[in-house]
């Protein structure tokens, strides 16, 4: 397990910062973890919701921390309505469900696995 000082050292500039594929290995190397113990693969999580994209935005606003924080900040600056409109448009365009009353949005992420020896 890296020490707190090792974790703090991760703030140093990373090689190839513009290449997302190099980031996990660079972070592991900075933490003293051998690159052979780190693997990563692009993966997709599909958000499936049994209602419209607009209703899905409502749930994200109520229950998903980062979105809750974004709305809190937007409310303070008087932009909550704009944020909601932008999210609704995003959810609508990304929805791959064939039905109007269903939402299915794929979200690609980088799954990183570190072997513990």
Token code pair at residue 78 = 């008087």
The residues that bridge with 45 in the sheet, in sequence order, are 107
- Domain layout of the chain by residue ranges: 44-110
Q: Is 13 helix (H, G, I), strand (E, B) or coil?
A: coil
Q: Is 115 helix (H, G, I), strand (E, B) or coil?
A: coil
> Could you give the CA distance from residue 89 to residue 12 in angstroms, rounded to a whole number?
37
Q: pTM (2 decimals)?
A: 0.69
**DSSP code for 26:** H
Query: Where does residue 53 rank: exposed (0-12), middle (13-18), buried (19+ CB within 10 A)?
Result: buried
> Could you give the CA distance from residue 90 to residue 75 in angstroms, rounded to a whole number?
19
**DSSP code for 78:** T
Q: Is 25 helix (H, G, I), strand (E, B) or coil?
A: helix
pLDDT by residue, tens only, the chain of 117 residues: 444 333 334 444 444 445 666 677 677 777 788 878 888 888 999 999 999 999 999 999 999 999 999 999 999 999 999 999 999 999 999 999 999 899 999 999 888 888 877
């Amino acid at each position: 397990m890296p020490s707190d000082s090792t974790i703090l050292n991760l703030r140093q500039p990373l090689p190839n910062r513009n290449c997302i594929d190099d980031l996990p290995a660079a972070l592991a190397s900075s933490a003293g973890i051998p690159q052979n113990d780190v693997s990563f693969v692009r993966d997709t999580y599909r958000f499936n919701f049994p209602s419209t994209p607009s209703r899905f935005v409502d749930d994200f606003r109520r229950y998903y921390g980062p979105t809750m924080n974004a709305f809190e900040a937007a409310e303070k600056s008087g932009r909550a309505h704009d944020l909601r409109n932008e999210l609704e448009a995003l959810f609508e365009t990304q929805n791959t469900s064939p039905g109007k009353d269903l939402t299915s949005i794929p979200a690609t992420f980088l799954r990183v696995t570190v072997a513990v020896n």
